[in-house]
Amino acid sequence: MTDLSASNEPVKYRVYYWLMNAALVYEIFAHSFITAYGVMPGDLDPLIEGLIRTVLVIFQLLIVPLLIIVPWWRDEYAELLWKRAMVQLAVLMTVAPPALLTVITVISEFFIQGDLSNWGGHRPDWLLAPLLEETWVLNTVSNVWVMFTSAFVILFQWNRWRDSR
C-alpha cells in the first residue's frame, strides 16, 4: 500500500518508511533478546557483543528518536500516521501509570499482605518485584522513555497495517 504512494516521492520519504520497518524489527529483536537474556548473554564473542550493543545504541538512542522528532522527514500520509500514533500514545501514557499503580495498591493491600502461612510458603512476591525494586531515579525515567519510544514505533506500524487491510 504505502509503496504505491511513496514510489514517486523523494528518497527521504522512502527512507523514513524503510527505517520505520527496520525500527520495528529492531524492537522485536531487542525486546525478545532482553526478555530472554536479561541484558546480554554472558559468554559472547566480544566482537559480536560489541556489534549487538552498537545496533541497540544506534537504534534506541539515535534512529527511533529522530524518526519521532524530525518534522521534514514525513510525507503527508506519514504525518497523519504520526499524529494518530502520538495521540494514542499520549492517552496511553496518561492512563497507564495511574492504572498500574492502582493495580499494585490493590494487589499489595489485599493479596500479598496476607500471612505467609496462608500462602503455603508461596506468597507471590515476585508479582511486585519489578515495581518495588530500588534503583536510581533517572534509570527508571530512561526505562519509561525507552518504552515510550518503542510504543510509538509499534503504534505507527499498527495504524499503517490497519489502514492497509
Judged by CB under 8 A, which of 38, 134, 162, 165 binds another protein? Answer: 134
Q: How far is the CB of 4 from another protein (least distance, A)?
A: 27
Q: Is 135 in the site for another protein (CB under 8 A)?
A: yes
Q: Is 145 in the site for another protein (CB under 8 A)?
A: yes
Q: Is 65 in the site for another protein (CB under 8 A)?
A: yes
Q: How far is the CB of 103 from another protein (least distance, A)?
A: 11
CA–CA separation, 131 and 127 (whole Å): 9
95 touches 84 (CB < 8 A) = no
Q: Is 83 in the site for another protein (CB under 8 A)?
A: yes
Q: Is 103 in the site for another protein (CB under 8 A)?
A: no
Q: How many other C-beta atoms are found inside a 10 Å radius of the C-beta of residue 155?
A: 19
CA–CA separation, 85 and 82 (whole Å): 5
61 touches 150 (CB < 8 A) = no
CA–CA separation, 61 and 23 (whole Å): 12
Stretch that binds another protein, among 4-12, 27-35, 36-44, 89-97 (CB under 8 A): 89-97
Q: Is 91 in the site for another protein (CB under 8 A)?
A: yes
**Residue 13 CA to chain centroid, in angstroms?**
23
68 touches 81 (CB < 8 A) = no
Stretch that binds another protein, among 16-24, 39-47, 64-72, 111-119 (CB under 8 A): 64-72
Q: Is 158 in the site for another protein (CB under 8 A)?
A: no
Q: Is 70 in the site for another protein (CB under 8 A)?
A: no
